[in-house]
């Protein structure tokens, strides 16, 4: 399946059915926004009214990771493709640190969701949201971090690093899907199949590659890349919610303690039966959490 015969909205009914949601085809469209770096950001705009939330995915993912959450929320929102991910342009400098992407993300939010009150970021998207609010403090009225803090390190994220640093090409779609299933034991095969179709593409020779900039996304020293973002947590002046996956090793009790030391009023919610990608494991539960927080 190449881009010419890829209908990115054709699977939304399957998302709804698997989650037990009533389905009416939503108003959703893809748009592109110019950015200060010169590398356009692509995004999905859900609904016709002004967006109330902005959703930012994790590393090696894309905006479609939020599809079931968006369907369950039923609110107007924007889901961004981070630079170098999904349908967004790859950065010429191949730099996908949160601090490097912050100005581009802020420009996309200003253009597509200037009145959105809630910024939601998962994993790399959460750290990018932190970095963005540190330099653009008026961009949102609330921040939700989905299973991430600046305390992430190589040990906590070992499985993620191993997956992202995998082969650059695959002989077939089935080979790519098989590896994805092996690294995501909490997800159904059907949901992972949809995710791979959104996140990979075939080449003329029949091989498959990821859409994201894999060479630019090598994670390297996580503590060196992300540790200084604790200061961004301290600087927050908006309500903060951390949704933590009960089965995930990425956020531990020490991280929660540090988060609360720096933001004593922060709310922490543990989501049962969810690993790191809460939006994939428990999308309806996460949607309910976001709906309450955004109200």
Written as six digits, the tokens of 186 are 């909490």
Distance from C-alpha of 255 to C-alpha of 102, rounded to nearest angstrom = 23
- One of 88, 198, 276, 281 is an active-site residue; which one? 276
Q: CA 59, 255, 195 angle in degrees (round to 5)?
A: 25
Q: Strand 208-210 and strand 200-202: pairing?
A: antiparallel
276 part of the active site = yes
Give the bridge partners for 170, in sequence order: 208
What beta strand segments (E) does the chain contain?
28-33, 41-46, 53-56, 77-80, 118-122, 142-146, 200-202, 208-210, 240-245, 267-271
Q: By C-alpha distance, which of 116, 150, 157 is closest to 130?
A: 150
Q: By C-alpha distance, which of 173, 170, 213, 209 is closest to 60?
A: 213
147 part of the active site = yes
Give the bridge partners for 192, in sequence order: none
Q: By C-alpha distance, which of 92, 97, 30, 86 is closest to 61?
A: 86
123 part of the active site = yes
- One of 104, 147, 213, 217 is an active-site residue; which one? 147
* Contact yes or no for 54/119 (Cβ under 8 A): yes
How many other C-beta atoms lie within 10 A of the C-beta of residue 36? 9
- One of 37, 123, 191, 277 is an active-site residue; which one? 123
Give the bridge partners for 120, in sequence order: 55, 144
> Active-site residue numbers?
123, 147, 276
């Amino acid at each position: 399946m190449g881009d010419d015969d890829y209908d990115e909205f054709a699977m939304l009914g399957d998302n709804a059915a698997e989650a037990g949601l009533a389905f009416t085809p939503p108003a959703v469209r893809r748009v592109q926004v110019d950015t200060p770096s010169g590398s356009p950001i692509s995004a999905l705009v859900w609904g016709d009214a002004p967006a109330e939330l902005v959703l930012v995915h994790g590393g090696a993912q894309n905006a479609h990771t939020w599809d079931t959450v968006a369907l369950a929320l039923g609110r107007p929102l924007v889901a961004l493709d981070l630079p170098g991910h999904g349908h967004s342009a790859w950065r010429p400098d191949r730099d996908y640190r949160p601090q490097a992407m912050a100005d581009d993300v802020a420009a996309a939010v200003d253009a597509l969701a200037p009145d959105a009150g809630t910024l939601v970021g998962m994993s790399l998207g959460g750290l990018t949201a932190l970095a963005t609010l540190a330099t653009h403090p008026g961009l949102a009225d609330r921040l939700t971090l989905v299973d991430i803090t600046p305390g992430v390190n190589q040990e906590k994220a070992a499985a993620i690093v191993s997956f992202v640093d995998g082969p650059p090409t695959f002989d077939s779609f089935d080979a790519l899907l098989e590896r994805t299933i092996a690294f995501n034991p909490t997800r159904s095969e059907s949901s992972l199949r949809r995710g791979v179709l959104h996140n990979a593409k075939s080449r003329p020779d029949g091989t498959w590659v990821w859409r994201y900039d894999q060479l630019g996304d090598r994670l390297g020293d996580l503590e060196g890349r992300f540790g200084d973002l604790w200061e961004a947590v301290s600087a927050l002046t908006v309500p903060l919610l951390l949704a933590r996956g009960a089965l995930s090793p990425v956020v531990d009790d020490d991280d929660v303690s540090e988060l609360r030391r720096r933001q004593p009023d922060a709310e922490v919610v543990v989501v049962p039966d969810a690993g790191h990608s809460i939006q994939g494991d428990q999308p309806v539960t996460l949607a309910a959490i976001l709906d309450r927080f955004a109200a």
